[in-house]
Amino acid sequence: MSTPIKTVWIDNPPLNALDAATVERLEAELGQIEVETRVVVLRGRGRRAFSVGADVSELHAGTLPGIQDLAGVIESLPVPAIAALDGYCLGGGLELALACDIRIAHTDAKLGLPEVKLGLVPGGGGTQRLPRLVGPGRAAWLLMSGEQVSASRAEAWGLVERVTDELDAEIAAVAGMLAGQSRHALLELKRVLLDTRHAPSDRTEFDAFVRCLEAHDGKERIAAFLEKRTPSWS
């Protein structure tokens, strides 16, 4: 049965490594967003890790798991995507979280991009998305040192938006709030943010505003505000 909040699990115990099969399953599930879905929550199965990133044994064998393509799928979802981070969130796992719109971390979470310690660089968009969140200097430090940071430091640096001792409750609160917004307005917001990430554009924003104003949700919300009633979203 479809629900407004769709949870997608990274399920490859014990640490949810991103092998090719896991990435393929995630792409398939994320490619099936029902019309009733308002929010997607990406989580790691178990408490030990959201994901520790690419399966190193597959990399050694020459298999590339396709994390960059999966991150692109997440970033392009028509609804908000929330990454719920518990335990280790490393390498390609963090790159998937960076592709989400919002990141919520448990207080015990550890985040990092340790690829440099294997003589590698991130291959799932980490060098592109990380500087936009934490700034070029902090991004360079995380990338070049491979250091893991705590959830509290990640929040202070802007790498995550919320830190909590009660991850399930925080997910329910944040996802529930977003699920109550206009799906059309959220889609337009995602498009504007994505289309203007490299270059500001007042025109892009204004065109989205006009589309929202002319859409059913915009007209209904304004009417409901003036009539002091609860809106009925399309």
Instruction: Give the residue numbers marked as catalytic.
Output: 95, 115
Rounded-to-10 torsion of CA 122, 101, 48, 109 = 90
Length of the chain, in residues = 234
Instruction: Give me 1's structure tokens.
Output: 């049965």
Query: Which residues lie closer than 8 Å to 170 by C-beta, 6 or more apart?
Result: 104, 162, 164
How far apart are alpha carbons 97 and 227 in whole angstroms?
A: 40
Peptide bond into 13 cis (omega under 30): no
How far apart are alpha carbons 102 and 82 in whole angstroms?
A: 5
CB 140 within 8 A of CB 113: no
How far apart are alpha carbons 65 and 67 in whole angstroms?
A: 6
Residue 158 C-beta-side C-alpha neighbours within 13 Å: 11
DSSP letter assigned to residue 161: S
Closest to 217 (Cα-Cα) out of 179, 180, 183: 183
Query: Which residues lie closer than 8 Å to 161 by C-beta, 6 or more apart?
Result: 102, 103, 104, 155
